[in-house]
A and B are shown apart, each in its own frame.
Chain A
Amino acid sequence: MSSENVELTAAGAASGNIAGAPRFVETLADRVFRQTTFAIAVLTVGLTVYLVYTIGHAAMPALETYKFRFLTGTTWDANRNEFGVLPAIVGTLYSSILGLIGGTLFGLAIAVFLSEHFLSAGLESVIGALGLEGRRFWAALPDGIENVLRTTIELLAAIPSVVYGLWGIFVVIPWVRPPADWLHNHLGWIPFFGTALSGPGLLPAAIVLAIMVLPTISAIARDALIAVPPKIREAAFGLGATRWEAILAVFIPTAATGIFGAIILGFGRALGETMALAMLAGNANVLSWSLFSPANTLAALLANHFPEAGTAEVGALMYAALVLLAITLIVNIIGTVILQRAGAQLKGLR
């Protein structure tokens, strides 16, 4: 009896199954592994610090020359060494926020749609009504379609920015032109519609950005929603909640950190997006509330000017890059604080 136990334990340990107290080798492996993760964590921080240092070093001359004037200036003139990024800062925030709002609304809708199996449930009931649920093909169909939908959306993250840019020029701009003209002619007194659409501008840029961040947001938010523990799910329905009461009051708050993480990644992507915006934003240093006005963004500024920039301009571009990183960080911090405030009462849920 007892010898059998010993044998089992030994066999378990030998095949790596979890049983019995850790052996010396396992403890050693544990320490090595933990030290490794620590080292990698430090490496990640070190890498980021070094990166910011590299950029900061290159930006130093410009920082010293332009100081805060850089942030409030509105012209970018390499000929006169006069550099200001206010329009680009505003354009970056404006286009990213618009894009993010669109991307989040639709991304979350898709995440809910997929994680709550609206589609497969609907299809199953149709298939059930037709009496086909016994057939293998039909029974597998709903999940299959849902899977295809999910993969398609994830694929959109792989389409190169240049293709999005071309799509924006050839599909989105002609498509938004009639409604934009109508809005400008009839509601032009509203600042948002204050200028005529000359082609590229904030609105087409924001629409394309929304599509670009959508895969990130929907994929990660879906994962977070799926991971809501079944007992929480069942408890919500057990209390008599309707489907959407459960989704809005229970599932989404429970998955809030994950969803928030998704939005942050999406926002980062929107802020840092270069090529598509360089092609679509119009690249004009204009300060305007109008959605139809051409605009500029920091990342597009970098992409446009870097390859041909002289020494002074490179410094200014690196300064602009620092500004962009600072914006990312500030937005992140604000978001984290909001989430912590809102999420304090949710702590017990996990």
Chain B
Amino acid sequence: MRAKTIEHWRWPLGLMALSLVAMGFLGYQVGDAASATTLQGSGATFPAPLYQRWFAEYNKLHPDVEINYQPIGSGAGIKQFQQQLVDFGASDAAMTDEQMAAVKQGVVLIPMTAGGIVLSYNLPDLTAPLRLSREAYVNIFLGKITNWNDTAITRTNPGAKLPDEKITVVTRSDGSGTTFVFTSHLSAVSDAWKNGPGHGTSVNFPVGVAGKGNPGVTALVKQTPGAIGYVEYGYAKQTGMPMAVLENKAGKFVSATPATEKNALASVTLPANLRGWVTDPSGDDSYPIVTYTWMLFYRKYADPKVAQTLKAVVEYGLDQGQSFASDLGYIPLPESVIRKDKEALAQIS
């Protein structure tokens, strides 16, 4: 009897594995996946909280529709969209003509929401929000202004207690749409930036330390006295970080709020393909650094049901969905854009 017990345990790992495999296969039924629809999307991280909220709410209303959106980065999202691995993609930088040419079914770009980017800082002695001229913030990130009591900063902040302290510039280490939008704005504003670091999802910043993702930048700014870094408006709002008031194209100092950001969006008319950047918005009350973010769809889907479901979900996002936007720190789309989006939606089949 005892010998048997030992025999029984002779291959403990093998047995464990076998029984688990058996259990796994017992769970299978060759059932049909039937009626319900599961759609897969991937791409930009920036709008992910809003998209995922929409899809979760939509799933509550239509339990048979599961839309799974995964934030893996705009670049990877575009690649997977090109490789036909997903039903739709998402990107903060839309898609280039070259990238779109690689998709044989054709591409429809639809701006779904928009967001702003703010400069957050760590200056504990400051009572009023920091005010930065265009010259000042460009030169801080170029490494030309290195101290907080530089006249370029003190001039726009009369009466503020700006310390005689080194400025620690904090940037993003990972490639990101946030960096793309921020550097596009800097390039539009300053030739020195355009011909220097340039714009892209990751650029070679002349100064500073880099944190990974929004939380990395936030943690660095919070822990380093004299630090300044760029983060998404929604992130800064949620985590209660101080945001600098920036000078816009019209020469006015504007703080980041949903209203000023919406003004900025409205100042630019989108072209027919809906691919347009708001690198330097005009208008007295426009916050200077804002951007749209796009969903990427195929023009033609093999399964008409997929196309139908996607259109229904996008309609939901453009109508009811916009109400979640400001809560989560995004900018609701202007009416004109929503109308154009719906026209573009008709191209999908």
Contacts and interface: CB of A to CB of B under 8 A. Distances in A.
The reply to whether A and B meet directly (CB within 8 Å) is: yes
Nearest to A177: B223
Contact of B199 (A15, A79, A165, A300): A79
Interface stretch (B125-133, B207-215, B274-282): B207-215
Interface string A169-203: 11001100000000000000000000000111000
A271 interface: no
A79 B209 contact: no
Contacts of A198: 168, 209, 224
Contact of B197 (A76, A79, A173): A79
A303 B174 contact: yes
Contacts of B199: 79
B220 A15 contact: no
Nearest to B199: A79
Interface string A196-214: 0011100000000000000
Contact of B219 (A76, A170, A307, A308): A170
B203 A79 contact: yes
Interface stretch (B32-40, B67-75, B310-318, B338-346): B67-75
Contact of A307 (B168, B174, B198): B174
A77 B173 contact: no
B224 A307 contact: no
Contact of A304 (B72, B173, B200, B219): B173
Contacts of A282: 209-210
A173 B216 CA distance: 13
Contact of B209 (A77, A174, A279, A294): A294
A309 B72 CA distance: 12
Give the interface residue-count category, chain B. 20 to 34
Contacts of A173: 223
A78 B197 CA distance: 10
Nearest to B221: A199
B72 A79 contact: no
Contact of A283 (B73, B168, B173, B200): B173
B175 A308 contact: yes
Interface in B40-62: none
B212 A279 contact: yes
B20 to A, nearest CB: 19
B202 interface: yes
Contacts of B200: 78-79
A122 to B, nearest CB: 33
A57 interface: no
Contacts of B263: none
Interface string A241-269: 00000000000000000000000000000
Best-buried of B74, B200, B209 by chain A (most CB within 10 Å) = B209
A278 B212 contact: yes
Best-buried of A165, A173, A283 by chain B (most CB within 10 Å) = A283
Interface string A10-27: 000001100000000000
B3 A15 contact: yes
A304 B168 contact: no
Contacts of B197: 79
Nearest to B223: A199
B201 A308 contact: yes
Given A199-B209, A199-B224, A310-B75, A169 B219 contact: yes
Contact of B76 (A200, A300, A308): A308
B204 A307 contact: no
Contacts of B208: 284
Given A304-B174, A307-B76, A200 B209 contact: yes
A32 B291 CA distance: 64
A152 to B, nearest CB: 24
A336 interface: no
A233 interface: no
B7 interface: yes
Question: Nearest 7 CB-CB pairs, A to B?
Answer: A308-B175, A307-B73, A283-B173, A308-B75, A77-B204, A308-B201, A283-B210
Interface of A: 15-16, 75-80, 165, 169-170, 173-174, 198-200, 278-279, 282-284, 294, 300, 303-310
Given A199-B224, A200-B211, A284-B210, 17 more contacts: A15-B7, A78-B200, A79-B197, A79-B198, A80-B204, A198-B168, A283-B210, A283-B211, A284-B208, A304-B173, A304-B202, A306-B76, A307-B174, A307-B175, A308-B176, A308-B177, A309-B175
24 contacts: A78-B175, A78-B203, A78-B204, A79-B197, A79-B198, A79-B203, A79-B204, A80-B204, A169-B216, A169-B219, A170-B219, A278-B174, A283-B211, A283-B212, A284-B210, A304-B173, A304-B212, A305-B175, A307-B72, A308-B74, A308-B75, A308-B76, A308-B201, A310-B75
